[in-house]
Structure formats: C-alpha cells, structure tokens
Amino acid sequence: MRIGLTHIGKRFGKVDALRDITLEIPSGAKVALIGPNGSGKTTLIRVLMGLVDHRGQAVLGGERRDVAYVPQVAPHMTASVGELVRAICDLRGLPRKRVEDVARRLDLPLDELARREFRALSGGSKQKLLIALALATRPGLLILDEPTASLDADARGRFLLLQRELAADATLILCSHRLEEIRSLVDHVIALEDGAVVYDGPASEYLARRVGTLVEVRFRGEDPSWLRDRGFAAGVDGWWSKAVDRAGKLELVPAAIRARGAELADLSVRDVDLVELGGVS
C-alpha cells in the first residue's frame, strides 16, 4: 500500500511536533522510522492513521481496513481479552484460530487469558496480544510503533521470525530504537529530528554511517596502560570499553588478544548506535 505525505505539519501548543514533512513510501517498502525521543515519530504515525488533525495532505493508497496498527502505548480497555479478540475477528472477518496460532508462537496462551481484563495484563502480554492481532490480520500496511519495547529477548526473537514470515509482502512502517530490528526487517530508513526529516534513504547506508561497535574487555592484569593508550575507558569490575567503526573492530580485537590475551578474563563485541554513544573515538 503506497503512502504519500505532502507538507505535513503539526503543532501542539508551542511545540512544533512535525515541520513540513513530505515523503513518498512505495507499496511493499519496509521502512524504519527512527529518531530520538520526542522527534515526532508517533505523531507522524498518528497523522497517517487519521488520528490527529494536521496541516498538509496524507494519502493512503488503499483501504483503511487493510491497515494494522500497533500503538506505542496500549489503549485503556475494560474489555476482556476474549471480547477484544472476538471484536477484532468480527471486524476483520478473521478466523479466531489464526489469532490463537500467532499468539501461541509469541508464547501467549490466549485460551488461558480469555477471561482476564485486557488492562490487567502485563505490559509485555498486552504488546504480544496487539502484535498477534496485527500479524494475524495479514494487512497490506503494517504500522508498528516500538512493538518490542516491553518484550523480553526471547519474545523479541519470536516476533522477528513471525514478522518475516507473516508480513513478508506487507508495506511496513516500524518505529524502533533497536538496531537488530532495523537490520533484519527493513531496507529503508526515515530519520526524524525535532519534527523534520534528516535522513530518507537505504537502511544499509544509514547503518554503515551510524552503527559502530562497542568493544569491551575485562582486564585482570596489573598494568592497563595498553588499553588506556588506545582510548579504552575504565568501567566497573575490571571492564574497559571503546567504541570503534567496522575497520577499527577488525583491527582492535585481534590486536588486543595478541598483545594482552593472557590478561583478558572476558571479551564482548556488540553493535551500538554511535549517536547514542556520542561518536567514535
């Protein structure tokens, strides 16, 4: 489902939440919408969903019933889980079994929860149920606003698999701060800052520019000058860390092992957002 946004603006009192946003998202695109807290991601999605009034024009090239949306904050509902599932299934003409199957694969036992009030579920269970309802719908456009923010690592892994399997053909708009989701689910990145688009292009290019590696070593030797001289910062419990780019990682990790391997009690290498870290040293 194609999406066209032209000169979208939104003010909340004195806050310019969205400033003149023009975007074209082709049908079938997989897009990550990213940016710091308060940059306007949720507001932009709410504009798309027709949930807030705004300046400019937002066009969805398809039917609204072909859109599934998982909001960042679960709505307050007094309905029971069973009633909610029934209502969505009726509305969408969806077999209940399909929702149950997806929920089970997210480790959410719908039959056991049917009589519980939705608002009494844990944050993670609420999110799993909303994801299950969205994915079971097999929508043409899937909009997920930080869908995994309250999920544990196991549930996040299950979500990634299901998403790839059940929404392979859908147009996807995913708000996420998680690099592993951006890397494995999207091919395009739109970055917002302060209500304006600051990047709109291939995910690979964005990741190459913005993603770095945090190399952490646990040093148990007497003299940490080798680490200090190479810009490692001392942390707690013998850990030292340094942010590097890809080339730096390939050079630094073997060098550390060669030079100080016998004095290293542990080593961790993980991808991080360089902007959050404040840049590579």
Beta-strand pair 239-244/196-202: unpaired
According to the binding rule CB under 6 A, does residue 40 interact with ligand ATP? yes
Task: Output the smallest distance, CB 25 to Mg ion, in A.
Answer: 18
Which of 12, 26, 101, 208 touches ligand ATP by CB under 6 A?
Answer: 12
DSSP notation for 88-141? HHHHHT--HHHHHHHHHHTT--HHHHTTSBGGGS-HHHHHHHHHHHHHHT--SE
The entry of ligand ATP, Mg ion, none near residue 12 (CB within 5 to 8 angstroms by kind) is ligand ATP
Of residues 152-181, those binding ligand ATP (CB under 6 A): none
Which tokens in the block code for residue 29? 């695109």
Nearer to ligand ATP, 163 or 176 (CB): 176
Q: Which two tokens stand for residue 250?
A: 């390939």
Residue number with CB closer to Mg ion (36 or 62): 36
The listed partner (ligand ATP, Mg ion, none) that binds 168, CB under 5 to 8 Å by sort, is none
Q: State the residue for tokens 């509902």.
A: 77
Contact flags string 57-76 toward ligand ATP, x per CB under 6 A: ---------------x----
* Candidate ranges 38-46, 105-113, 134-142, 228-236; the one touching ligand ATP (CB under 6 A): 38-46
The beta strand positions in the chain, using DSSP E, are 2-12, 15-25, 30-34, 55-61, 67-70, 141-145, 171-175, 188-193, 196-202, 211-219, 233-234, 239-244, 264-273
Shortest spacing between CB 196 and ligand ATP, in angstroms: 12
Residues lying near Mg ion in the complex (CB under 5 A) are found at 41-42, 72
Q: Which does 15 bind (CB under 5 to 8 A by kind): ligand ATP, Mg ion, none?
A: ligand ATP
Among 31, 32, 42, 244, binds ligand ATP (CB under 6 A): 42
Q: At closest approach, how far in Å is the CB of 182 from ligand ATP?
A: 14
Paired residues of 24 in beta bridges: 4
Instruction: In angstroms, give the least distance from the CB of 98 to ligand ATP.
Output: 30
CB under 5 to 8 A by kind: which of Mg ion, ligand ATP, none does 17 bind?
A: ligand ATP
Determine, following the binding rule CB under 6 A, whether residue 6 of this chain makes contact with ligand ATP. no
Sign (positive/negative) of CA torsion 78, 80, 83, 84?
positive
Rounded CA-CA distance 175/224 in Å is 41
In angstroms, the CA 225 to CA 230 distance is: 8
Contact in structure between 106 and 158 (CB atoms under 8 Å): yes
The answer to whether residue 54 forms part of the interface with ligand ATP (CB under 6 A) is: no
At closest approach, how far in Å is the CB of 144 from ligand ATP? 13
- Within 76-105, the residues that bind ligand ATP by CB under 6 A are none
Total interface residues for ligand ATP by CB under 6 A: 12
Sheet with 239-244, edge to edge strand ranges: 233-234, 239-244, 211-219, 264-273
Are the beta carbons of 165 and 7 closer than 8 angstroms?
Answer: no
Residues forming contacts to ligand ATP in the complex (CB under 6 A) are 12, 15, 17, 35, 37-43, 72
